[in-house]
Amino acid sequence: MRPLSPHIHQAQAMSTSQLLPAQTPASWKAAVVYQIYPQSFCDSDGDGIGDLAGILSKLDYIERLGADVVWLCPHLASPGVDNGYDVSDYEAIDPKFGNMQTNQLLIDGLHKRGMKMMMDLVVNHTSDKHTWFQDSRQRRGARADWYIWRDAKRSADGQRVEPNNWASIWGGSAWTWDATREQYYLHLFSPQQPDLNWDCAALRQEIYAMVRRWHARGVDGWRLDAINFISKPQDLSNAALDLPDAPVTQPEQRYQPAFELFSHGPRIHAYLKELYREALGPDVMTVGEAAGTTPEQSVAYTEWETREDKELQMVFSTEHVDLYGGFSLAPVAPLRHGEMRAVLARWQTELLPRGSWQSSFMSNHDLPRAVPNFLRAEAPQHRWRAAKLLALHQASQCGTLFVYQGEELGMINLPHDWGIEDYPDLVSQKFYHETLQARQAAGDAEPDMSDVMAAIRRKARDNSRSPMPFNGSASAGFSSGKPWMRVNPDNVVCNVEDQEQDADSVLAFWRAALALRRAHDVLVYGIFELLLAPTLGAQDVVVYARTLGEKRAVYVASLGFEEVEVDLTKAGLTEEMQPALAVGSERSMHVLQGLEARLYVL
């Protein structure tokens, strides 16, 4: 990582008695992490697929943005059922991305720039093509129990049925029958992603050894995929307690959501403590994907400063993005800015006093683009202001910042006229075709699927996975060949080349916002305080302060499209004070235009 920034030295200058434990300065806390989806970032050899050499060619661009860490989504060997989240070899690079030598060049290139490399650690499950699974299904040696296998149950009429009623996260049963082993195996995701059995000590030791070998190659950190799912309620000595049925909450469905049973399982903390002791240690940057995690649960994982038996530095909670829903055929609900404000305040205030740090993100490879998702501001007259507002929003919050490729440009979702054939993700395809089959089974041979496509356009993961637009050409400067996925034609107005030449671009604003954060410790470590309860006519206004010693910053924004009046003297602001960075031209101290945002550093 680069040398400690000035703001870290400023925070260190405060006496420890003035700081909460979690405010102890650290480079990983002040870091900006740039997330790359390799398949869609930059193609160096013209085969239409982004690769490691392409990423290597863009390191100067990433460094100029202000990033300290690059996080690569999975690029290890994989059949690609879930775009790399089905790993078939943990110590081989998928040939479509390059090889171990190119991977090492990328690590070395980052280190030469004072930057770090973070990889995805996908160890809740593997690919069904992994040799571990192939050995396990053959009951071969020590690996026989490295996955979760159970005998079939029998229905009243003698038919073979699954061991329990769990639904997979993506629908259907969480169990698949294996004719070779003559047992069912558990998969919380697709049938091609069998879950590993973390209760097996030999498996855990193999994982830890693999992680240590990657550290020896220079990997600096990990994003731990679906990490809150690794411990399941297993008890082979008591059938009643062994992977019990989920409560019936959807009576019309054969398989039931089991999130409360497989999330934050009985031995999750013991396993993560062991992972820390055996493989991670204090110098490895870690963030765990932990969907559905509350602040209290997050603290249990991330009390980094207040206990010796450490686990993770941060988790990705999803409460703020969950407010905006997933695939749904229900009418589009109003935006929930009031709830968003409350969620923000809860996470920003409940972790620091308990020795925990958090991540801050608005976009990633599993979400639609932030501008339409949080603000529904794709229209040309709104999108650029909206993108800058969200940039300033992130830069002014406590927590390590994660920026997803294209977010720094203000990218938006895929076009409304694209068909299902243009959405390659298995989740989009499954949602569409299962709904189609259900409607056909109900007697409609050619059902209207416009509502399904509308839901997919709003929420599909594909929205964030289209090729990175480096210029306005047909292939977006992503590839000299035919891209693996259609280029979003929005690249003619939203691309790196044009924004590099525009001092008022979203890219320029992101660079300014990250530079401002780097220069002011209060924006990294300051205590958060939500100000100004929403009033009638100003429900879309968000005002909060950050305080560190004598230093104070105030963020003011209107998330709506209409002009609103707000008395900012109640936030301690005066007419003489000027924002350090702002979105929109200030007409009056106490009047906010639609999608206006200001950040004062006092």
Q: What is the helix, strand, coil percentage profile of the chain, to 5?
A: 35, 15, 50
The catalytic position among 206, 225, 490, 521 is: 225
- 109 vs 103: CA distance, rounded Å: 10
Do 58 and 147 reside in the same domain of the chain? no
* Dihedral over Cα of 57, 61, 64, 70: its sign: negative
The catalytic position among 82, 195, 289, 540 is: 289
Q: Which residue's entry shows tokens 């994660």?
A: 402
Do 157 and 174 reside in the same domain of the chain? yes
The secondary element (H helix, E strand) that includes residue 211 is helix 201-216
Query: Pick from 469, 487, 513: which residue ends a domain?
Result: 513
Q: How does pLDDT run across 184-225, given as a tens digit for each residue?
A: 999 999 999 999 999 999 999 999 999 999 999 999 999 999
Do 147 and 216 reside in the same domain of the chain? no
Phi-psi region of 292 (alpha: psi -120 to 50; beta: other; left: phi over 0): left
Q: Which residues of the chain have pLDDT under 70?
A: 1-17, 534-537
* Assigned domain for 391 exists: yes
Q: Residue 274 sits in which domain range?
A: 6-126+201-513
Do 432 and 288 reside in the same domain of the chain? yes
Smallest CA-to-CA distance from 359 within 123, 32, 70, 601 is with: 32
Q: How does pLDDT run across 129-140, given as a tens digit for each residue?
A: 999 999 999 998
Query: Pick from 186, 218, 233: which residue ends a domain?
Result: 186
* Dihedral over Cα of 212, 213, 218, 219: its sign: negative
Do 219 and 356 reside in the same domain of the chain? yes
Predicted pLDDT at 47:
98
Beta bridge partners of 546: 528, 553
Predicted pLDDT at 422:
97
Do 438 and 296 reside in the same domain of the chain? yes
528: helix, coil or strand?
strand
Beta bridge partners of 32: 401
Active site residue 289: yes
Q: Is the pTM of this model over 0.85?
A: yes
Cα distances (angstroms) measured from residue 428 to each of 82, 284, 363, 424: 12, 35, 18, 7
Phi-psi region of 66 (alpha: psi -120 to 50; beta: other; left: phi over 0): left
Do 210 and 317 reside in the same domain of the chain? yes
* Assigned domain for 194 exists: no
Smallest CA-to-CA distance from 254 within 158, 151, 170, 173 is with: 173
The secondary element (H helix, E strand) that includes residue 319 is helix 319-322
398: helix, coil or strand?
coil
Predicted pLDDT at 269:
98
Query: Pick from 486, 513, 540: which residue ends a domain?
Result: 513
Do 141 and 122 reside in the same domain of the chain? no
Predicted pLDDT at 141:
87
Smallest CA-to-CA distance from 541 within 473, 479, 592 is with: 592
Q: How does pLDDT run across 229-285, given as a tens digit for each residue?
A: 999 999 999 999 999 999 999 999 999 999 999 999 999 999 999 999 999 999 999
* Assigned domain for 191 exists: no
* Assigned domain for 79 exists: yes
Do 421 and 440 reside in the same domain of the chain? yes
Do 380 and 416 reside in the same domain of the chain? yes
Do 477 and 577 reside in the same domain of the chain? no
Beta bridge partners of 34: 70, 403
* Assigned domain for 518 exists: no
Q: 234: which DSSP letter?
A: -
* Assigned domain for 218 exists: yes
Q: Which residue's entry shows tokens 């958090």?
A: 358
The total of structural domains in the chain comes to 3
Q: 291: which DSSP letter?
A: T
Q: 279: which DSSP letter?
A: I
| 252 Cβ contact list (under 8 Å, min separation 6) | none
* Assigned domain for 560 exists: yes
Smallest CA-to-CA distance from 5 within 82, 66, 65 is with: 66
Predicted pLDDT at 338:
87
- 174 vs 477: CA distance, rounded Å: 41
CATH code of the domain covering residue 532: 2.60.40.1180
Predicted pLDDT at 7:
44
* Assigned domain for 520 exists: no
CATH code of the domain covering residue 158: 3.90.400.10
Structure tokens at 245: 């049925």
Do 246 and 275 reside in the same domain of the chain? yes
Query: Terminal CA-to-CA distance of the chain, rounded, Å?
Result: 29
Burial of 553 (0-12, 13-18, 19+ CB in 10 A): buried
AA letter at 283: D
